[in-house]
Structure 1
Amino acid sequence: MSKQDKSNVLSICKKMLICCLFLYMCTIIFLNNSNLLSTSQTRTSSKIVAQTNISHLVFGLLGNERAWHHRKHYVEAWWRPNVTRGHIFLDVPPRGDLLPWSLNSPPYRISDDIRKLVKETNHVDPRVLRMVHGIMEVVRQAHEGVRWVILGDDDTIFFVDNMVDILAQYDHTKYYYFGGHSEFILSNYWYSFNQGFGGAGIMLSYPLAREFAHNVMSCLKRYAHLKSSDRTTMVCVADLGVNLTPLQGIHQIDLRGDISGFLSYHPKSLLTSLHHYDTVDPIFPSMTRAQAGFHLQKAARYDQSRMLQQTICHHRSKSWTFSVSWGYSAHIYEKIMPRSWIQRPIVTFRTWQTSPRLPQYMFDVRGPSWNPCEAPRVFFFKSVEKTQRGEIVTTYTRGWPRGIGACLSSGNFSAEYVSDIYIDKCECCDVIHEEGSIRADIKYRECKINELIA
């Protein structure tokens, strides 16, 4: 081969090498762009996943036909026809004044044949079997798009928007078991400190509920000796590798009598449920239980996120302390009181069962006082409205005369003549009150540094 030919071949090789390098670089750039595009598309698609909303929740309420005649009003106070999803499961078909079935109630289903299930599992308690097996029946009725399964009783008031806000913080594709403890410490001791008390509501992510349903019969056979549905549910879930995540706003209400002292000192956590509505006094004076349930939901329709949450503020010119349970009550103390003391509920209620053991409750309490400087003047929620400026204003009216005189230790500024309190919508607030006026206005705002200590 001549030198000229060799030169031509070398030139051609160089050109081919350059072309190969060029094609290689183009390929690298193209693949990188494809990966970036793929990553971008993945991120975009993940953003498309809808935030958890009310349509992603399905309720399974356990009831019986006899009690539903009056308990339906409790459920209808919070149920939203054609919005809330789920069913009330009755023991027998509805009769009498339950027909035709109310459109304001959840649609009903009849529980599976318990006698057949008892025979199959040898379970010692048909009621327990029905409640636990009911979880499978709820899952069986669930439709596409369900992320969370809510189980509860028909004597419970639920706050669905708050449930949605809580559950939206969690990955519904994972296993979660949410519930609440009993307020009565012995109930937790007798059953378990690790169980969710089901009447107040337990919340299962759909994958966990589906797995529970798949294993429910074997679990009922395995624990056929247990006489508590909540404990059975707990151990069945635990056998799937999941433990309880307790939530503060789920209230079993294992209390008796007047629970206004408990409701008026609610911590700053989202209110989720109030159970045992049948076994306590009506929560508003001069109302039936059904009326009180609807009345409480009036405020909830405007802002569930603040329901019952306690706010404490001071009117220092008159040495008054205000404690507000938003949407429920307001208390005036005729003395500047420490927040740490005001945050403890007043024992207006009785224990769930008589017991000489102490302590009785799962929370700090203080006894009622006849000292006019320590006993509050009590006001209850009356009405709510939204102003033209978009502010939500709640009104509270006096519940009853206190009848023990005024507090004289801090200037003799009596609140006896105040009959109404107006509150617009955090822990601190300004009190506007003119001398002799029957009205006091409270405006919430952020705390200042020098206000954090009373």
Structure 2
Amino acid sequence: MKVNQKDSEKVGWDQMAVGSQNRAMPKLMVWLILFVSITYVVYTLKILSSSSSSRGCDDGDPLFATAHNRFALPQTQPNSTASQSPIPNFPTETHLKTELKHVVFGIAASAKVWDHRKNYIKLWWKPKQMRGVVWLDSPVKTRPGEGLPRVKVSGDTTRFAYTNRQGHRSAIRISRIVSETFRLGIEDVRWFVMGDDDTFFVTENLIRVLSKYDHNQYYYIGSLSESHLQNIYFSYNMAYGGGGFAISYPLAKALERMQDRCIQRYPGLFASDDRMQACMAELGVPLTKELGFHQYDVHGNLFGLLAAHPVTPLVSLHHLDVVEPIFPNLTQVEALQRLKIPMKLDSAGLIQQSICYDSANKWTVSVSWGFAVQVFRGILSPREIEMPSRTFLNWYKRADYTAYAFNTRPVSRNPCQKPFVFYLSKARLDSSTNQTVTEYSRHRVTHPLCRWKMPDPAELDRVEVYKNPDPHLWDKSPRRNCCRITSSKARNLVVDVGVCREGEISEI
């Protein structure tokens, strides 16, 4: 059958339309699926974002909590489980601070001198606040309520060899005190502190020093002898036991495990503290030096050392039976009792030196707070005044100034430059101004005639010093306090002592 042209064109166009329609259908489906997929993804992301914000708030993150609260849902009721969940207590500085209760003392003593030397321990021991043991070579009689640590007899040391002909084998017993104290199993200990029965501790300053160090690490803290020869004979890396030293708990634990074996390897050593240092060398722990521990291997008068104390907290005084009382015309116990008065008012500032000048009279004034004041005619530089004057002899009783392990200056031979010394006589706290008021009375000794044409400090009867207590003095970088002359009339010199002001220096 014959088909005409129009019908043929119609059929062609219809076929093309059908083909076009068949190709268009898949494209439409693709676009539709793509649209639905995108919508689903966006919706899912919104849900996840909302859930994440909610979890962030529950985790307690302040940044998330703040952002979430801007668009917060209504809060849960007070009786809901979420509102009753406990808030964790995180450690604070107060919880981490080393206190006196974290220290255990091991005190080396001898039964022969116990009745006398226990009086030194009574001066600084606080029975309700402190823990420790006095280790003796034989039993002694004790009385309840004496205000002393508990007393124990050291373990037998006859199995250890001792070959030093100049020493005494009690050195072995004393060297084991830290280990024997550790074996008592006392809880919550951070530091073991060793001292002798003739050592006086300023315990508040001891805690200030120990607080600088991490008690979880190995630390061996103390100081040297004042005698250069002593340090040569023994070691410049040794803490002298009489001045006291501190050992952190983990180091004491390590020491206890090996000390008896260590002692066997050093039968020829002289003393207890060099045995201790030998064991520290085997453990690889060096001495951390703190100058406030004072061995005082000297003879005579400590005035020059105390009046120019280094810029560090006063921690201990040793050899109290060897040196003269620190205040004249008193026994050593009476003198230390007097020192305790300013110690209670401001232990951080005890015996800290300040240097200033009375420009009107052209005097140099050195204040050793809580101990003594010196007034010099003329102008002496701080570099000179901060050096201890040689009021003492070295441990081998020679007047040889080269035998000290620090700089000293001679006592002036010029009669006009002999200092006028004023010793502490009174100390109190003025509650209205929160200032300590310390009075220093002139030590009346004969002064040589001076012909300098300037005011004579001999006309002064006393010095009055005002100072604000500063328990945080050693939380800052070490620096001497400054002093200012506020009045020098009517036979009295009035001085103000405190932290140096901006731009303030010791100059006339």
TM-score norm. by structure 1 comes to 0.89
Q: Deviations over 1:188-227 (max 9, x none)?
A: 0110011111111111111111111122112112223322
Residue 97 of structure 2, aligned match among 44, 51, 72: 51
Q: Deviations over 1:125-169 (max 9, x none)?
A: 631211121111121235222111100111011111011111112
Q: Which residue of 2 aligns with 1:226?
A: 269
Structure 1 residues 358 and 394, CA gap change in structure 2 (3 angstroms): closer
What percentage of aligned pairs have identical amino acids? Answer: 29
After superposition, residues 54-453 of structure 1 pair within 5 angstroms as 54-95=100-141, 99-115=142-158, 119=159, 121-124=160-163, 126-141=169-184, 143-354=186-397, 359-387=402-430, 388-406=432-450, 408-409=451-452, 411-425=453-467, 426-434=481-489, 437-445=490-498, 446=500, 449=503, 451-453=505-507
- Mean Cα displacement is larger for which, 138-147 or 196-205? 138-147
Which residue type is aligned with residue 414 of structure 1?
D
CA distance in 2, matches of 1:203, 1:148: 6
CA contact (8 A) 1:114 1:129 kept: yes
Q: Deviations over 1:101-139 (max 9, x none)?
A: 443112212211233xxx1x3344631211121111121
CA contact (8 A) 1:315 1:431 kept: no
- Mean Cα displacement is larger for which, 324-333 or 259-268? 259-268
Structure 1 residues 79 and 432, CA gap change in structure 2 (3 angstroms): same
Which residue type is aligned with residue 184 of structure 1?
S
Post-superposition shift, 1:355?
5.4
Question: Quick check: which has more Rg, 1 or 2?
Answer: 2
Which residue type is aligned with residue 442 of structure 1?
V
Q: Which residue of 1 aligns with 2:476?
A: none
CA contact (8 A) 2:365 2:373 kept: yes
Post-superposition shift, 1:37?
4.6
CA distance in 2, matches of 1:282, 1:48: 39
CA contact (8 A) 2:356 2:507 kept: no
CA distance in 2, matches of 1:203, 1:394: 32
Post-superposition shift, 1:8?
8.3
Which residue type is aligned with residue 218 of structure 1?
R
Which residue type is aligned with residue 453 of structure 1?
E
CA contact (8 A) 2:416 2:448 kept: no
CA distance in 2, matches of 1:223, 1:31: 64
Which residue type is aligned with residue 429 of structure 2?
K
Partner-residue secondary structure (3-state), 1:242: coil
Structure 1 residues 30 and 270, CA gap change in structure 2 (3 angstroms): same
Q: Deviations over 1:6-42 (max 9, x none)?
A: 8887677556544554455456656766777599999
Q: Can you give the 5+ residue segments of structure 1 that lack an aligned partner in the other structure?
A: none
How many positions carry a matched residue from both structures?
Answer: 442
CA distance in 1, matches of 2:43, 2:278: 69
Q: Deviations over 1:378-434 (max 9, x none)?
A: 11111110012111011111222232134x43x430111212111110223124121
Structure 1 residues 413 and 357, CA gap change in structure 2 (3 angstroms): closer
Q: Alignment RMSD, CA only?
A: 2.8
Q: Deviations over 1:275-300 (max 9, x none)?
A: 11111111111111111121111111
Partner-residue secondary structure (3-state), 1:70: helix
Which residue type is aligned with residue 437 of structure 2?
V
Q: Deviations over 1:300-352 (max 9, x none)?
A: 11111111111111111111111111111111112222111212212111111
CA distance in 2, matches of 1:357, 1:322: 28
CA contact (8 A) 2:372 2:422 kept: yes
CA distance in 2, matches of 1:224, 1:35: 62
CA contact (8 A) 2:357 2:507 kept: no
Partner-residue secondary structure (3-state), 1:443: strand
CA contact (8 A) 1:148 1:206 kept: yes
Which residue type is aligned with residue 202 of structure 1?
F
CA distance in 1, matches of 2:384, 2:196: 34
CA distance in 2, matches of 1:48, 1:9: 64
CA distance in 1, matches of 2:219, 2:53: 44
Q: Which residue of 1 aligns with 2:16?
A: none
CA distance in 2, matches of 1:179, 1:359: 23
Q: Deviations over 1:232-281 (max 9, x none)?
A: 11121122221001111111100001121221111221111111111111
Q: Can you give the 5+ residue segments of structure 2 that lack an aligned partner in the other structure?
A: 1-24, 65-86, 468-480
Partner-residue secondary structure (3-state), 1:286: coil
Structure 1 residues 209 and 42, CA gap change in structure 2 (3 angstroms): farther
Q: Which residue of 1 aligns with 2:21?
A: none
Partner-residue secondary structure (3-state), 1:60: strand
TM-score norm. by structure 2 comes to 0.80
Structure 1 residues 8 and 45, CA gap change in structure 2 (3 angstroms): farther
CA contact (8 A) 1:282 1:288 kept: yes
CA distance in 2, matches of 1:222, 1:311: 48
Partner-residue secondary structure (3-state), 1:394: strand
CA distance in 2, matches of 1:278, 1:142: 33
Which residue type is aligned with residue 438 of structure 1?
R
